[in-house]
Amino acid sequence: VFVFPSLYEGFGIPVAEAFASGVPVVTANTSSLPEVSCGAALEVDPLSVDAIRDGMSALARDERLRETCIAAGRRRAAELTWERTARETAAVYRRVLDGRN
């Protein structure tokens, strides 16, 4: 289980790396992390030790939940590519530049 209860993230690359590695994730429900995880991780209040503990325990005890999170994480990791990021960034630049006179 990878636990990443960060309070502030521009982008949660460690979460994406854990997904790609087939590791279930407990992460914060704040900052950019819910956008990165898209429901593939257990999202918890990073200020609550109890919530973090409960997320870790749930993944340790519940094999079905763990396998579901691993599969969802692998699917999410497959979506998070540099090629996709470059394509989407270029599309934003094109829209901005096309609107300029």
- pLDDT, one tens digit per residue, over 18-30 is 999 999 999 999 9
* Count of H-run helices and E-run strands, the chain: 5, 3
Residue 34 vs residues 12, 17, 19, 38: alpha-carbon distances, Å: 9, 15, 14, 6
pTM of structure: 0.85
Q: Which fold has domain 2-98?
A: Rossmann fold (3.40.50)
pLDDT tens string 44-100? 999 999 999 999 999 999 999 999 999 999 999 999 999 999 999 999 999 999 986
Pairing of strands 42-44, 25-28: parallel
